[in-house]
Each structure stands twice: as structure tokens, then as C-alpha cells.
Structure 1
Amino acid sequence: MDKDKSIDHQLRATWQAVAKMYNEQAAKHDSTMATAFALLNIDFENGTPSTALGPLMGMEPTSLSRLLKTMEDKGVISREKNPNDGRSVILKLTDFGKEMREVSKGHVYQFNNKVREYITEEELETFFKVTTTINKLITDKLIYDDID
């Protein structure tokens, strides 16, 4: 199959370009795309239970633990005991973390606004419909028959 007509190739190549672009921007702030993504997924006011962040980000526990350690070392998050569950912690943004979250948010808005200058709302609606359908096909395990 021609790679330019392969759906998975286009998804992968586009995501790699987006990830590279975001990592280049994050590097200007001594950060990474993963850190920025985590900052955007931690509740600004109340924090987020550490057990809820992994699923929000689609990360494995080992990778998430490493990321959270780095974020704590850089002073963008703090860990507090979860008052509702003594076994878990709430991840809270520090003042510096809140500043960095706003920087990250600005980059996401800038990306979205620039793309919207070149792509119509109708095209974006189609794009979202296509990606939602692909995700549903994968989630519902409708891509491959497990008959081998």
C-alpha cells in the first residue's frame, strides 16, 4: 500500500510532527511535551488524584511515576495526602506549575488557532468524526478478527 494513502501512516507522521513541534516549544521553557500535557490535565484549583492522571494521559504507571518525580523536582507540582483515601495522593500545581500550565495552554491555543486559519469548520468536523470513528473501532476491537 502507498504510504501516502495509508491511514495509520498519516496519523503517525502527523502526530510525530505535532509532538516534535510541542517538544521544541517546551524545550524553550526547560520542559517537555509530556510535562506540559500533565500540567494541562491536573485540576487548576483542586489538584488531581495521582491514580486518575495516568488514564487521563494514557500513560503507564512506571512512565507516569518518572514524569511526576521530574515535575516535583522542577517545582511545578506538589503531592498532598488524599483526604478521602489515605493510600493515594493529590497532585497539586505549585504557583510555578500554574504559570507553566498557562504557558502550555497558550501554545495549545496558538496551534489550534493557526490550524483553524487554514482548515474550515466543516473540514474540522469531518476530521473529528473520522478520528472518533477510528478510536471507537479500536476500542470496540472491530479492526481485527481474532480468528487465527
Structure 2
Amino acid sequence: MNKEQLFDFHVRNNWFKISRYYNQLASKYNMSFSWGYILLSIEKDGTPSTSLGPRMGMEPTSLSRTLKNMEDKGLIERKSDAIDKRKSLVFLTEEGLEARRVARDVVLEFNQALYEKFPKTKVKAFFEISEKIDAYLNELLEENK
């Protein structure tokens, strides 16, 4: 098999290009793709910092450094959980909320462009196949625990 026949080649290649595209746009706002993704992942009532890493596929040290930089820029603030003081929750500041709106708009515009570029049947097939790949990967991960 050559690389053009491998599912993972196409997934990785497209993800790399999407990431580059988002980074190009984010740099105009002095942000990065990972910052935007974090901003979109933080819930209104706060999000435990420990849950952000697995959601984003980031290592704890990279996430800690990224959160520290975002905190220094005034986009987020960390507070101890009211019930469990050992738990740190991440909240968006007013500046963070504005940056989140920008990130959300960029993501929505990109996705809308893709919806317009492809017929509905192809979009539906893409999501069906993606869901089946996800289910298969979950099976493989369970088997290899």
C-alpha cells in the first residue's frame, strides 16, 4: 500500500493543514490554535484544568505552560474549587470571552465553507465513516488496555 491508500495518512495530513490554517488566523489576534481550542473548551461554570488535557490531546506540561501564558495575557483565570480546594478550575475573563467569540467565528466560518463546498450526501458519508472509525478505535483501545 502506498501512503495515499492509508486512512491515517489522510487524517493526519488534513489535521496538520487545518491546524496550520487556524494558526495563521489566530496569529492575527496574537493567539494560537491551541489557545483557541482551550477557549472553546472552557465551560461557563469553570472547567477543571485536568480535564482540558485529555480533551485536547495535550500533555500536562504543555497544557500547564499554555494555561500560564493565557493567564499572563489575561484570557483566563484559575480559581480553587469551592468544594474541593485541591481542584483548580479555569474560567474565562472578559478578554477571554471576546477571544472565544473570535475563535468560535473562525471555526464556524471554516465549517460553513466546507458544508457549502460538498454535497450533503458526501458530508453525511464523511460523518458516518468518521463515527465508525471512532468506534473502531475505541474497540482497539479497549482491547489493548
- Number of corresponding residues: 143
Partner of 2:87, secondary structure, is strand
Q: Residue 84 of structure 1 corresponds to which residue in structure 2?
A: 83
Equivalent residue for 2:54? Answer: 55
Q: Tell me how far apart the structure 2 counterparts of residues 53 and 12 of structure 1 sit (CA, whole Å).
A: 21
CA apart distance, 1:56: 2.0
Q: TM-score, normalised by structure 2?
A: 0.92
Q: Structure 1: which 5+ residue stretches go unaligned?
A: none
Q: Alpha carbon RMSD of aligned pairs, Å?
A: 1.6
Distance 1:67 1:135 in 2: 28
What's the secondary structure of 2:25's corresponding residue? helix
Q: Which 10-residue stretch deviates more, 117-126 or 105-114?
A: 117-126
Task: State the 4+ residue runs in structure 1 displaced beyond 6 angstroms.
Answer: none
Find the counterpart in structure 2 of residue 72 from structure 1. 71
Residue 105 (structure 1) shift: 0.2
Which moves more between the two structures, 79-88 or 133-142? 133-142
- The structure carrying a bigger helix percent of its residues is 2
Alpha-carbon displacement from aligned partner over 1:57-79 (angstroms, at most 9, x marks no partner):
22221111111111111110001
Distance in 2 (CA, whole Å) between partners of 1:87 and 1:46 is 17
2-side partners of 1:16 and 1:55: how far apart? 19
- Describe the superposition over 1:24-53 as per-residue Cα deviations: whole angstroms up to 9, x where unpaired: 00011111000000000001x312121222
Cα distance, 1:128 vs. partner? 1.2
Cα deviation code 1:98-147 (max 9, x no counterpart): 000000000000001100111122211211111121122222117xx98x
Whichever residue aligns with residue 99 of structure 1, its letter is E
The share of aligned pairs that are identical, in percent, is 38
Match of 1:86, SS state, is coil
Q: How does 1:29-44 map to 2 (within 5 A)?
A: 29-43=29-43
Give the TM-score normalised by structure 1.
0.90
The equivalences for 1:1-148 within 5 A come to 1-43=1-43, 45-141=44-140
CA distance in structure 2 between the partners assigned to 1:86 and 1:121 by the alignment: 49
Rounded Cα–Cα distance in structure 2 between residues aligned with 1:4 and 1:55: 29
